[in-house]
Amino acid sequence: MIKILLEKELRDIVSSTKFAITFGAAAILVILSFYVGIRNYEESTREFEAARAVNASNVASLTDWRQVQHKVFRKPQPLQVLVSGVTNDIGRTTEVRPHGELTLINSRYNVDPLFAVFRFLDLNFVVIIVFSLFAILFGYDAINGEKESGTLKLILSNSVSRADVVLSKLLGSFLALVVPLLVPILIGCLMLIGFGVPMSGTDWVQLALVIGGGLLCFGVFLMLSIMISASVTRSSASFLFSLVIWIFSVLIIPKGAVLVAAQAVDVPSLDGVEAQKRKFTLGQFDQRFQKMGEFLRADITRDETWSQRFVAFQDSLNKAYEKEREEYYRKLNEDWRNKKDHQEQWAFALSRLSPTAVFQIAAMNLANTDVSLKHRYLEDLNRYQDEYAEFLRKKTGSSGGMQIVMRFSGQQGAQEEERKSLNPTELPEFAERGRTLGETISASFADLGLLALLNILFFVGAFVRFLRFDVR
């Protein structure tokens, strides 16, 4: 029996005008989002390479490693254009100094507010807005629509159990809608290959999980709207009901949750933390000045090795202050980070009232464009900073930091040897370590699980509601 009902369900959906129009729109948008993502990736990669090249040529134009203003750039990742998350909001460029705190500047949206006006059209957006709407359009009258057209009574006048009817309805509409949706998604994946986007095996697994999550998100809305359809007598009422739920879950709850959490959980402003740091550093600066003055007054023999002694002294000063500063900053940062984490947990916990928010959080975690991207990236940068400081120490004999280099015009030879241009390839390579596949999956596991759970919940809900549905 179920086979007959399933077959009818598939045919009924696929042969409708509603399906032709909405599926057409969804398919175009999916393909468009892949295309735009790919072009965006190419463009960002071009920018990234250009910026690196300019950095290298700047280094090459110098003769002393101490003069170098070395910049590293956040490398665009293929998945980040499909699920942009916060990637366009946080900075891309960092000037690496051997010491001191590193910052990310020049976020895409800050540099190009043009793109911030309407934001990007990514796969994530299409899933959240279009897939969910698509699901509702087919789910809202699944049960009460059949009642209104009299077919439900006709079906049930046969020797068919209600369980069979509702099972075939739920499975049939899921299959009838999801299988066609896989087509544009597959085309998109082929485009990724065709355009030569360097996707690693890990990327593919993560993309597959994002797509899986998207389909689960679609499923949640489908099951939910079928459940509503089995709970409300009139299809016009169930449509309104589903639409209101859609507006809330897609547009209102996520935004509202974050804003409410931002107000309910107090986190001191980052500016305050920065000001404290600045104050501390300026205090150190003063002390350092006095120490240097003392050194100059104490060590008064200006012999051959004096300038080396001066550099060595500054080095030891730097080291001591650097350690102190790092300790202080670390404590401040950690303190702030803990409070912020607390706030973020609240915000996201609240926003998970909405299935689309659950999907978005999962997708961002999978694409590594979640809120902690900045934090993770800065940690990678800090590791690189140590490496860079070590490199500079080898090259220049000092570990960098604030340096005053004394040259006496009498000492000719030293100048001549420094005239040689720098070789930028000697610079240590910065590689974003990011997260491993395991870490990525475990970060998104709970949310994917939640989506699956919601599917089951609404599935059972629709099932139970239909068993009690008044077919008269």
Residue 153 or 319: which CB sits closer to another protein? 153
Exactly one of 182, 320, 406, 414 binds another protein (CB under 8 A); that residue is: 406
Q: Which residues pair with residue 95 across a beta bridge?
A: 71
Residue 273 or 437: which CB sits closer to another protein? 273
Q: How far is CA 246 from CA 128, 133, 141, 345, 463, in A?
A: 10, 7, 15, 24, 21
Residues in contact with another protein, counted by CB under 8 A, come to a total of 128
Q: Closest by alpha carbon to 184, among 196, 174, 192, 195?
A: 192
Nearest distance from C-beta of residue 281 to another protein, angstroms = 9
CA distance 392 to 409: 25
> How many C-beta neighbours within 10 Å does residue 427 have?
21
- Tell which positions 21-50 bind another protein, by CB under 8 A: 21-22, 25, 29, 32, 36, 39-40, 43, 47, 50
Work out the burial of residue 365: count CB atoms within 10 Å of its CB; fewer than 13 is exposed, 13-18 middle, 19 or more buried: buried
Exactly one of 2, 129, 311, 452 binds another protein (CB under 8 A); that residue is: 129
The type of residue at 50 is A
Nearest distance from C-beta of residue 283 to another protein, angstroms = 8
Stretch that binds another protein, among 216-224, 264-272, 323-331, 436-444 (CB under 8 A): 264-272
Q: At what angle do helices 162-194 and 201-229 cross, to 10 degrees?
A: 150
* Parallel, antiparallel or unpaired: strands 70-73 and 93-96: antiparallel
Report which DSSP code applies to 63. Answer: S
Could you tell me the two tokens for 69?
A: 């203003």
Nearest distance from C-beta of residue 282 to another protein, angstroms = 6
- Tell which positions 153-172 bind another protein, by CB under 8 A: 153-161
Exactly one of 102, 111, 187, 311 binds another protein (CB under 8 A); that residue is: 111
Q: What are the two backbone dihedrals, phi and then psi, of residue 366, each rounded to the nearest 5 degrees?
A: -70, -35
Q: Closest by alpha carbon to 352, among 438, 268, 265, 448?
A: 448
Exactly one of 31, 66, 93, 180 binds another protein (CB under 8 A); that residue is: 93
**184 lies in the binding site for another protein (CB under 8 A):** no
The type of residue at 189 is C
Which residue shows structure tokens 């491993």?
436
Stretch that binds another protein, among 186-194, 272-280, 319-327, 446-454 (CB under 8 A): 272-280
CA distance 118 to 125: 12
408 to 447: interface string for another protein, x by CB under 8 A: -x--------------------------------------
Exactly one of 2, 171, 175, 262 binds another protein (CB under 8 A); that residue is: 262
Could you tell me the two tokens for 336?
A: 């702030």
Residue 43 or 386: which CB sits closer to another protein? 43
Could you tell me the two tokens for 222?
A: 């489908």
**Taking the alpha carbons of 154, 156, 162, 165 in that order, is the dihedral positive or negative?**
negative
**335 lies in the binding site for another protein (CB under 8 A):** no
Q: What is the residue-wise DSSP string for 410-440?
A: T-HHHHHHTTSPP-GGGSPPP------HHHH
Residue 148 or 390: which CB sits closer to another protein? 148
Residue 201 or 298: which CB sits closer to another protein? 298
Exactly one of 30, 65, 82, 85 binds another protein (CB under 8 A); that residue is: 85
**62 lies in the binding site for another protein (CB under 8 A):** yes
- Tell which positions 279-308 bind another protein, by CB under 8 A: 279, 282, 285, 289, 292-293, 296-298, 300-302
Q: What are the two backbone dihedrals, phi and then psi, of residue 317, each rounded to the nearest 5 degrees?
A: -60, -50
Could you tell me the two tokens for 94?
A: 């960092």
**319 lies in the binding site for another protein (CB under 8 A):** no
Exactly one of 72, 98, 107, 180 binds another protein (CB under 8 A); that residue is: 107
Q: 39 and 369 in contact (C-beta within 8 Å)?
A: no
Nearest distance from C-beta of residue 456 to another protein, angstroms = 26
Residue 154 or 456: which CB sits closer to another protein? 154
Which residue shows structure tokens 């934001």?
119
Nearest distance from C-beta of residue 102 to another protein, angstroms = 13
Nearest distance from C-beta of residue 117 to another protein, angstroms = 6
Q: Which residues pair with residue 96 across a beta bridge?
A: 70
**344 lies in the binding site for another protein (CB under 8 A):** yes
Residue 205 or 265: which CB sits closer to another protein? 265
- Tell which positions 370-399 bind another protein, by CB under 8 A: 370-371, 373-374
Exactly one of 90, 96, 192, 228 binds another protein (CB under 8 A); that residue is: 90
Exactly one of 188, 214, 254, 355 binds another protein (CB under 8 A); that residue is: 254
